[in-house]
C-alpha cells in the first residue's frame, strides 16, 4: 500500500499552517435553519481563528453569489480584513466573491472536499449556535433570526468563555483577573444565557 500511495508530500501541513498564521485567518460558513413555517433561512458567519471572535453575521432566504460577495465587502470596510479566508467549495461562492477577496488583498483558501476538520473552528462555532441558541428559539422570520443571532454573537464575543482560549472571552478588553466584590447576572436571549459582570 505504501508503494501505491507514493511519497508523502513535503511542505507545511494544514494544522501547522493554521497554527502559524491564526492571527491572519478568518473562516466563514453558512448555517441553514428553518422558520416556524418550515421555510429555509440561511445564516452567514465569519469567525476570526485566533480570537474566536465572530467578525460578521447576517441572514438571508436566498444566498446568491452577489449577496455573499456583499457580505465580504461589509465585513472588511476600508481594507480591514485578514490575510487568508477559509471557505468550502459551495456554489454560493462564485467568481464575484473571489474578485472581492482579491480586491481586499485576501487570499482565499479552499477546503478539501469532505474534510470538515479543515474548517474545524467555524464548524465548532456553528454547532454551538445550534445547541446554545437555535435549539431553544422558534424563528418567526428573517428579521427575527437576524435579531436573535446578533444578540447571541454579542454574548459570544463579549461574555462567553471559550475552552480554546483558556476560558477567556474573545473580547480581551472585557476580561479581568482581579477579584470583585460582587457579580450581577445580565439576561441574554430572554434568560437563555447570562452575562456575568462585576457589580458597580
pTM of the model: 0.80
121-157 pLDDT tens trace: 899 999 999 999 999 999 999 999 999 999 999 999 9
List of domains in the chain? 14-164+181-198 (3.30.420.10)
Res. 186 pLDDT band, cuts 50 70 90: confident
> CA 49, CA 92: separation in Å to the nearest integer?
22
The CA–CA distances, whole Å, from 159 to 106, 127, 131, 155, 174 equal 29, 18, 17, 5, 8
Look at residue 39 in the predicted model and tell me its pLDDT.
95
**Using an 8 Å Cβ cutoff, are 59 and 42 in contact?**
yes
Res. 10 pLDDT band, cuts 50 70 90: low
Quick one: cell of 128?
A: 454551538
Amino acid at each position: 500500500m505504501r508503494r501505491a500511495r507514493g511519497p508523502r508530500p513535503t511542505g507545511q501541513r494544514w494544522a501547522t499552517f493554521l497554527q502559524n498564521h491564526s492571527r491572519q485567518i478568518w473562516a466563514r460558513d453558512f448555517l441553514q435553519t428553518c422558520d416556524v413555517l418550515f421555510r429555509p433561512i440561511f445564516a452567514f458567519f465569519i469567525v476570526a481563528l485566533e480570537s474566536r471572535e465572530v467578525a460578521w453575521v447576517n441572514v438571508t432566504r436566498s444566498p446568491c453569489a452577489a449577496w455573499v460577495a456583499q457580505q465580504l465587502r461589509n465585513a472588511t470596510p476600508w481594507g480591514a480584513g485578514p490575510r487568508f479566508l477559509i471557505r468550502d467549495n459551495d456554489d454560493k461562492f462564485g467568481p464575484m466573491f473571489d474578485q472581492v477577496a482579491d480586491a481586499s488583498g485576501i487570499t482565499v483558501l479552499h477546503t478539501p472536499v469532505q474534510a470538515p476538520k479543515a474548517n474545524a473552528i467555524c464548524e465548532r462555532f456553528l454547532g454551538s449556535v445550534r445547541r446554545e441558541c437555535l435549539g431553544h428559539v422558534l424563528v418567526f422570520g428573517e428579521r427575527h433570526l437576524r435579531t436573535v443571532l446578533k444578540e447571541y454573537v454579542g454574548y459570544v464575543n463579549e461574555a462567553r468563555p471559550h475552552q480554546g482560549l483558556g476560558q477567556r472571552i474573545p473580547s480581551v478588553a472585557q476580561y479581568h483577573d482581579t477579584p470583585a466584590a460582587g457579580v450581577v447576572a445580565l439576561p441574554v436571549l430572554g434568560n437563555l444565557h447570562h452575562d456575568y459582570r462585576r457589580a458597580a
